[in-house]
Amino acid sequence: MAPGVAVVSVAVAMAIGVYAVAVIDGIAGRLVAGAGRRGVGVVLDPPRTVVLLLMQRRHRTERADAQGWALAPALLGGLAATGLAVVPVDRGTAVADPGTGFVVFATAIAFVMIAVFLHGWSPNSLFPLIGAYRYGAQALSLQIPFLLAMLATALPAESLAVMDIVEAQGDVWNVVRQPLGLPIYLMVGVGVGFWGPLNLPDGADLVGGTSAEDAGTDRLAWEVARAAMLFAIAAMGAAVFLGGWWGPLLPGPVWMALKTLCLLVVMVASRHLLARVRIEPFVVACWAVFIPLALVNIFVSGALLL
């Protein structure tokens, strides 16, 4: 694929994904609040929010790192685009199909910690800095179960190429082979996107955390980047766990879109259905529960293949 076409394709996909996250979030919020009948205008809420934030005045703190403040959302959005680029839409159709697409996506997820820490460090303010350190503990606890859950999907394909991982699910999807893998992956996805119950770096107890000093275009850029990362995680989950383009009757890209939408609904709705957890028990749960479960998942998967 030509570079220009690749960039445009990823940008369009990210724009659709960000809009989908905003609409799903709005619908879920209204349904939980019992305002479903008044939810018709929810499809227009994202453009209204964008206009309001564009008109809002930006906030600047004393001796802030202006370059880092601007770079943080750009870095997070770039990582989301990198991860999305290796997700195949159909057989033989992907923006990028390296033989190590799994590694590319895993690296993008690992570097999210840098973007979030930079976002909290740059304002030179107390609560954003605390949020940055909190995400450091959160991310370090998530990386191992994430890698193990993803690695298990590569075993049936005997390949680290995402296209091969999807191709190997022609008979049985990995969610059936590895029932523990998808729940662990979704938990990690919500944690990486610091969304809903795992929104620890930007929590209300920190008055917004790393986003406490954001306003106007700064907040818009950060929220767009967060939503793009959530969409990239959902798309990869649909590919490696739910069979990607495999499905009856409908074309492959349609199946891919529907499966991505299903995972996106689950992750976005968690914001309204589950209470935010505390950082201490979450870190303990990652090391004492999720890592052992991910190890059981990968050992069982390997034993079944042998």
**pLDDT tens-digit series, residues 116-139:** 999 999 999 999 999 999 998 888
Residues of the chain with pLDDT under 70: 1-2, 35-40
Q: What is the pLDDT of residue 35?
A: 59
28, amino acid identity? A
Q: What is the pLDDT of residue 38?
A: 53
Q: What is the pLDDT of residue 36?
A: 53
Q: How far apart are CA 52 and CA 57, in angstroms?
A: 10
Q: What is the pLDDT of residue 6?
A: 78
Q: How far apart are CA 191 and CA 184, in angstroms?
A: 11
pLDDT tens, position by position, 135-149: 988 888 888 888 888
Q: What is the pLDDT of residue 239?
A: 93
**CA torsion sign, 86 to 89 to 91 to 94?**
negative
Domain span including residue 270: 3-305
- Give the other-Cβ count within 10 Å of 277's Cβ: 16
Q: How many domains, the chain?
A: 1
Q: What is the pLDDT of residue 221?
A: 92
Q: How far apart are CA 163 and CA 152, in angstroms?
A: 15
Per residue, the 3-state secondary structure of 58-95, as one string, reads CCCCCCCCHHHHHHHHHHHHHHHHHHHHCCCCECCECC
Q: What is the pLDDT of residue 93?
A: 79
Task: State residue 179 phi and psi, 5-degree precision.
Answer: -65, -20
CB of 120 closer than 8 Å to CB of 129: yes
117, amino acid identity? F
Q: What is the pLDDT of residue 143?
A: 85
